[in-house]
Structure 1
């Protein structure tokens, strides 16, 4: 094997490996026979709260910082109150999101166009030459030019779409905006055998829209991002092979 042939084979192999890596094939090869992994739980910062008076500290001999020394006040930070609003309002609080997407749209369009046109022209008298032209060429000079045109077009289209998603998910307040609105993010994953279903919800909510049971509808979330899908063997079976997808993108026909 010549050096040129070996170099060409190496370049082809590197190109094939790059193509496989770009299509995610290398990662899928390592997950054959294994269930899809769940995403790690993300940490959300929460404000510091004071322990309850009934909580026993790990080391009674070690003095507690002055900022967290328990007091006898019922209104200390983190203490539950009988008349306190228990709805989410701080970073780290949890609220329930009720997702009930039921969209249906039907669009019918129809257009039609028709146009007819005709033009004619001639010379019934042309200094007496019309008789000579008619005799030599056999042309009727009164109908020298005549044209007719007809144009018709019609079109119709139909679009029908129906989607239904009904889920309930718990979300976490990740930030409080200067105007008091809350940034929320919720993630729910359910794995059954070799298929992982995941629901992602994020957006901005107003504290006034949170119901008394600490829940909110998805229609009250601004900048809502709702994603429901999954990954696993069933999802892979529903997708076309990467070679077919590549041909669909590159093929001009």
Structure 2
């Protein structure tokens, strides 16, 4: 049985196409940031009773420009944090010492052990030391974060202080950047448009975290980390 050249060429082309299809990986699922659940359970608003205009749980004076904040309300935090630190240390130490002592006689008895070319041998001590140390060190750090984050009131202390917590996620081609902010604020520092500067937030905690291929490129491989700790040179 003879096989035509055209049939053989078709068979080889089909086999090559099948091999390329088998080696080609299907694209994986798109990495998406899932919406987070609301961080706190919001209680229903207390209804007014006896024809009152305001609920019974309302606190503060009616003449003050203060809003009755409740758990679950939203506050916009304007992040304007900036920090710079510099530290320089220089130290130096120098010490020199010299000892010279010659013993020629003891209780009137000369101490010598012969001579060489007219120079007598006698016990003598000569010692010298010289120590020098110099050290220098410096450190510098700077950070600057700006932006706006919508935070949620998660707790209200008995004195009226508000606990805030907010987060924002940005996903660009699988590289996720997250900014998490927590802190405590006074209702008096919140403006009428429900915004507050981060300079007025106590115990301010800003975390800027990245996750994805770009962040992985900045990480030292685990084997290299082990070798750098165990390698003696």
Please give the TM-score of this superposition, normalised by the length of structure 2.
Answer: 0.72
Q: Higher strand share goes to which structure?
A: 2
Give unpaired runs (5+ residues) of structure 1: 1-30, 51-67
Q: Secondary structure at the match of 2:134?
A: strand
Q: Higher helix share goes to which structure?
A: 1
Q: Are 2:55 and 1:49 equivalent residues in the alignment?
A: no
CA distance in 2, matches of 1:37, 1:239: 22
CA distance in 1, matches of 2:35, 2:113: 93
Residue in 2 aligned with 1:209? Answer: 189
Residue by residue over 1:165-203, the C-alpha shift from the partner in whole angstroms, topping out at 9 and shown as x without a partner, is: 111101000011122211111011111221111110012
2:33 aligns with one of 27, 34, 37: 37
1:140 aligns with one of 109, 122, 131: 122
The 5 Å alignment of 1:80-91 reads: 85=65, 87=67, 89-91=69-71
Q: Is this contact kept in 2: 1:88–1:94, CA < 8 A?
A: no
Q: Is this contact kept in 1: 2:103–2:111, CA < 8 A?
A: no
Residue by residue over 1:71-112, the C-alpha shift from the partner in whole angstroms, topping out at 9 and shown as x without a partner, is: 975435799xx9885657221111111111222222222111
CA distance in 2, matches of 1:193, 1:113: 56
Q: Is this contact kept in 1: 2:93–2:132, CA < 8 A?
A: yes
Q: Are 2:40 and 1:75 equivalent residues in the alignment?
A: no
Q: Are 2:143 and 1:163 equivalent residues in the alignment?
A: yes
Q: CA deviation at 1:145?
A: 1.2
Residue in 2 aligned with 1:16? Answer: none
Residues 181, 129 of structure 1: alpha-carbon distance in 2 compared, 3 angstrom cutoff: same
Residue in 2 aligned with 1:240? Answer: 220
